[in-house]
Structure 1
């Protein structure tokens, strides 16, 4: 418990600091907003008092200025979100524009008429394209016989789900081969 409380001290102090800054900023913004309201009504009252304008004109101008101020303040609040959205959209389009090494519309491969389920990974070497310096598999060899139940066990990031992704051909191995019923899956279709 003491170790946990010590670990929480930093984030708590950061949150308090952020809360004070946010609260002060929010308070000041409301102060300025209501100060502008007060000044507008005071100036309008003085103009009406000296017969320079009518009450309806004062309220028209006041509401027009209020709507403009609210729109500008809300657009200012959206600026950080807009920049995050812009970078997110750019990364989504970068992913969509990537060319896959596997052409999903290519029908030139062979189709197995009957699948028994013999799976073999033979000296598979693999790195994710987005992390080319991190070797996930170095000469992975694994045989799974038809009808067997196999559990892949390991810590997070050890490659358990990567085995399935390679088998489903979401990725291609850098070297080595993966076979299904003795036929390399890169040569199969369907």
Structure 2
């Protein structure tokens, strides 16, 4: 509430100051110009040339002043975005190091996991959280928004590592598995799908470099994406 009032006051002052500058420029140009023409020191052509130059300059300054409150928000947003861009992940997604299992059964175990998002260090998502997910079973995580359902998926795919505790697949900690192999074993369908700027066939072939076009057409027909 106080922040909104303060922002409104700054915006109102900027708009008032910009309007004042604009009208003062009008008055000053015509007053000084009239004096110069009367004394023969200038012509109407030169007066209007200077007038338009000053008016456009004042207009630019007034527009900038009116957006003073927005510029502060933009600076704060840019700072947070640049900090995120400059952040270096501790997880190397291009590394081929680690174990590749011949077959993944799918037994998942989260053991005494504690986790906070790096961007929200004051919010404790998991504290000593333990969960076992057996293979070949349908398992559902149900809870209100913000309870950590999506966080479990993010940790399983190693978008993040837990602050403490371990997460294992078939008895092997995820950190010891090859990351690209681990993610190849999973399929994720989010509630808000992301559409890439490409054909449906190309989208079905993502991460499946050896998939034939016939196989892709089959999946499209199965999903009612092609008649």
| TM-score where L is the length of structure 2 | 0.62
Give the structure with the larger helix fraction: 1
Tell me the number of residue pairs that the alignment of Structure 1 and Structure 2 aligns: 176
Cα distance, 1:32 vs. partner?
A: 4.9
The whole-number CA distance in structure 2 between the counterparts of 1:151 and 1:161 is: 12
Q: Which residue of 1 aligns with 2:109?
A: 120
The whole-number CA distance in structure 1 between the counterparts of 2:145 and 2:153 is: 15
Q: 1:113 to 1:77 in 2, by over 3 A?
A: farther
The whole-number CA distance in structure 2 between the counterparts of 1:51 and 1:34 is: 26
Contact conserved, 2:167 with 2:174, CA < 8 A, in 1?
A: yes
Q: Which residue of 2 aligns with 1:37?
A: 26
Q: 1:162 to 1:73 in 2, by over 3 A?
A: same
Of residues 88, 93, 109, the one that matches 2:82 is 93
> Displaced runs of 4+ in structure 1, greater than 4 A?
130-134
Q: Within 5 Å, give how 1:1-190 maps onto structure 2.
A: 18=8, 22=12, 26=15, 29-30=18-19, 32-132=21-121, 134-189=123-178, 190=181
Q: Give the alignment's Cα RMSD to 1 decimal.
A: 3.2
| TM-score where L is the length of structure 1 | 0.72
Q: 1:58 to 1:132 in 2, by over 3 A?
A: closer
Q: 1:34 to 1:155 in 2, by over 3 A?
A: same
Specify every segment of 5 or more residues in structure 1 that has no aligned partner in the other structure, as ranges: 1-9
SS in 2 for 1:109: coil
Structure of higher RCO (CA pairs closer than 8 Å, 6+ residues apart): 1
